[in-house]
Every structure is written in C-alpha cells, then in structure tokens.
Amino acid sequence: MKIINKIKQFLNNCRRGGVLIEEGEYDFSGTCVNVPVDDASCVLRLGGESGKRLELYPVAAGVHANPNHRIWILVDPDRFFTEPGGYILLKPGVQWIIGRQQEMQAVAFQFPPWVANRHLLIEHRWDHLYLQDLKTDTGSHLTVHRDETSFRRVIDWREERLRQVREIFGGPLSPLPAEEALRRLQQAHLMLRATWATAGDHPAPAILHISTPIPILVGDLHAHTDNLLTLLTTGGCLSALEAGRAKLIFLGDAVHPDEGGNLADMTGSLLMMDLIFSLMMRFPGRVVYLRGNHDGCDEEISKRGVSQGLAWRKTMMAMRGAAYAEAMLAFYEDLPYIVIHPRVVACHAAPFVVKVNGAILANLRQYPGLLRQLIWNRLHRPACPGGYRAKDVRNFLHAVAGPSHPPLVVGHTPLDDHHALWMHVGGIENHHILYGGCPTTMSWITFTEGLLTAWEYPVEPLSERIAGR
C-alpha cells in the first residue's frame, strides 16, 4: 500500500509540475521539476552531473517586459556562441522533447550516446519552466542560477554584438553622408569585380560557385534593418564570418519597404545598402549579394500601385547625387543571379520553367528572358498559373548542379504574413522559401555539420539601440 501511495504521490507531483526549484542544484532523474522564470537561468546536464551541458536563458528582456511572456532559449554553450545556430527557442505554451531522436537537435547539440532518444521534456508554462526527465537510464541534472550576470548572458551577448556592428559600420547606425556612402558602394563593387576578375571573365558571370563550409542564406529584407541586425547579433553568426568559416548570402531585394503607409520612403533602403556595403568591406569576399527584382530603378518595379523603382532612383538622386545612383545601377548590373554551393543552390525567386543546357548557362547574361524568370517568377498556384512546378525545380537543379540535386532555396514570395520560412514548399522535397522581411520573425538557412538547418529568432527593435551618437 505504501508503495502505491508513493507512486500516486509521484504521479500527482508530475501532474502538478513536480518539485519547485528556486535555486541551486537538483538531480531530477526519473522525475519532474519546475523553475519560476522571473530572474533565473539554468544549466542542464543530460546524463547526470558530468553529462551533456545545455544552458537556458531568457531572450529579449527589454521587449518582453512581462516575464510570463518571455521567450527562453536552450543553447549548447560550446556551439551557440561560435556558430550561426545551435539553439531551441522556448515560447510560452510550447513543449519540446529534447533528445537524439530529432535529427536537427542531434546535429545542433552534438548529443553524445548517453543522451536518450527522448531524454527530456521542456515546457514553457508562462510563469515557470517545466522539466521532466523521461525516465532515462543516465538521468538529468539541473542547476538554477539567480544572479544578474547569468540571467543576462544571452541578452548581454547581443548587446556586445550590436556594439561590434556599430564598429563595423563606423559609427551610429543612420544613413551615411553622400560622399562616404558612394565610397563604400564603389569599394563593394570593386570587391565584387575582384571575385571574377582573376578568372578573366567578361562580362560578370551570372552564376557564382562557392565552397565556404557554412553559407548563411538571407531572404528579402525589404529595408527591415532590425531583421538583419537580429541575424548578425544572434549567437555566433559574426564569429563564424570573422573566422572565415561562413559566408553571408543575400538572396536580393534588401531594399524597398514592403509594408507601412509610405511605400515610396526609401530612407531605410539607403541605410540597408550602407550596412551591407560596410559588411562587404569588413568581410571581403564573404558577403554575396544575388540580384532580386527590386534591385533596380525601373518603373515596373512597383508595389500596390507605387513605383518603388522610380522612388528609389529619385531618393538616390536627391540624397546621394547622380554619381551614386549610377554607381548603384552599375553594381546591380554585375550582380550574380545564382549561387551554387556543393550542398545548396539559391537564386532570388524561381527556377526556369524551360529546360536549359550548359551553353546557355555559360552565357546566361545574353538571355534576359531567363534572367527575368529567376528574379520575377513564383511558385505555381491558382493565382499564378505561369509559376514553376516540381519538375522545373528538378530540371533546374540538374542543369546547374548535375545529378547530386542539392536543395534549392529562393526568396521573393512570402506565403503568409506571419512566417518567414517554408520548408519543402508546395510539396516539393528539398525546396525552401525564405523571407527576410517578416516584421516579427527573422529566419535564415545555414549548415550545421554539413546538414541544412533553418533557424528563426524574434525580431527586436535593435537599430534604434545603435542609432544614437
């Protein structure tokens, strides 16, 4: 009877959320605990005291002033601060099973064999975190810290990276004086030319081959500076760029706002290009910009009846002068359209809807109709009858990358307002759409131990924090 009572008590504890741990160490092997979240951070060890170490921190303390709505992040401290990924976001009401069963977790966290397939359940229950060891053989261990430094580790890390971005930009983040802006644009263009000049290619090749271990793909930013800052200041993105292990690949359309009252206001676009050119100068050859349909000044580039192409030209002329506008157009003319990496192929909008051969690909700039497909077309849907289909993705990959068929990633077409990433879109395996202009969430695709991984992070109003002098 006693044993039955004990079991009942244990089950009740679990149902209620288990033991309350305010501070200190606790071995919760085979049982469950909860941690009040207001000012805590946690160290978890999966597989007992000397097991795999993961750390739990709150993110965005400034934005989510109510601790019950705070988003938490579970990180592998050995990777999060050096790689562009390696974490799980815990949002209120959401439950995660942590363990080797999930391929992305196993790769992102490099779980050793003593971490079980289903090791731990974590749930963000608004005012506390609920953790349950799923009756593993090796157990789970928790340490709760309540000191300011531990609590603010991820928040302070971002602050530090923001200072680094400000230093790369060379001052507060606001549109540069005309002369300096032109200088950076011309420098960036020279660097772009240097990437192919050694091969003696003329004109600029439309297809760029790269082999950097970690490409980081960024979708259409549409002047959302905060989205770019969110990526740059999350985890080890800048560290990986600095170390030369990563390459930042913009899928085009960083300019022209896609929301708000004034679609002709191009101030944010000037700042966005200033920042991108500054990154190109700081990380020579490690920042790639593919051409998008908005990277131009033609009248036909429009949104909801506003010609953003004309507004862009007008703003560049007014704020930066004719030489700047001309230099920008010359830069656009030399941009690549397709990037090919052994593990991924990317372009702005779409694969061709016709078959092409090697001779055509070698002279792609002579085929404006094909270039147009790459930056303007969309996924086939009832509203887009001329769009591309699964067979076009297959044919395109075969033509540009041969029989290995790596995934194809494009930007251009947000499928709804609330997401920034669509995997295996339209039921097409290994075809993903990435959008960088979602105001609430920033997403990017990168590689972790050679495996394609996709990440998201809540967008914070970061630009204002480094805008002042």
List contacts with Mn ion (CB under 5 A): 253, 292-293, 412
**Least distance from C-beta 468 to Mn ion, angstroms?**
32
Quote the least distance from Cβ 387 to Mn ion, whole Å.
14
Q: Which two tokens stand for residue 114?
A: 């003593």
- Residue 439 Cβ, how far from Mn ion at the closest point, in Å? 17
Nearer to Mn ion, 113 or 305 (CB): 305
Output the smallest distance, CB 411 to Mn ion, in A: 6
Please identify, using beta-carbon distances, which residue of 90 and 272 lies nearer to Mn ion. 272
When the beta carbons of 301 and 459 are compared against Mn ion, the nearer one is: 301
CB of residue 135 to Mn ion, shortest distance in Å: 50
CA angle 124, 130, 133 (to 5 degrees): 130
- The Cα–Cα gap between 265 and 461 comes to 19
Q: Which is nearer to Mn ion, 86 or 292 (CB)?
A: 292
- Nearest approach, Cβ of residue 386 and Mn ion (Å): 16
CB of 241 or CB of 350, closer to Mn ion: 350
Q: What does the alpha-carbon distance between residue 454 and residue 437 come to, in Å, rounded to a whole number? A: 16
Q: How far is the CB of 351 from Mn ion (least distance, A)?
A: 15
Instruction: Give the residue at shortest CB distance from Mn ion.
Output: 412
Residue closer to Mn ion, measured from CB, 61 or 310: 310
CB of 294 to Mn ion, least distance (A): 6
Which is closer to Mn ion, CB of 37 or CB of 438?
438
* CB contact set of 146 (below 8 Å; sequence gap of 6+): 22, 23, 39, 40
Shortest distance, position 265 Cβ to Mn ion, whole Å:
18
| Residue 343 CA neighbour count, 13 Å, CB half | 16
CB of 331 to Mn ion, least distance (A): 17
Q: Which is nearer to Mn ion, 235 or 292 (CB)?
A: 292
Nearest to 291 by CA among 406, 194, 215, 371: 371
Distance between CA atoms of residues 202 and 196, nearest Å: 9
Contacts of 453 (CB under 8 A, 6+ apart): 85, 104, 107, 108, 445, 446, 447
Between 100 and 222, whose beta carbon lies closer to Mn ion?
Answer: 222
In this complex, which beta carbon is closest to Mn ion, that of residue 35 or of residue 290? 290
Cα–Cα distance measured from residue 115 to residue 98, given in angstroms and rounded to the nearest whole number: 9
Q: Which residues contact 405 (CB under 8 A, 6 or more apart)?
A: 394, 397, 398, 430
Q: Which is nearer to Mn ion, 58 or 292 (CB)?
A: 292
Minimum distance, C-beta of residue 322 to Mn ion, in the bound complex (Å): 26
388, two tokens: 């591309």
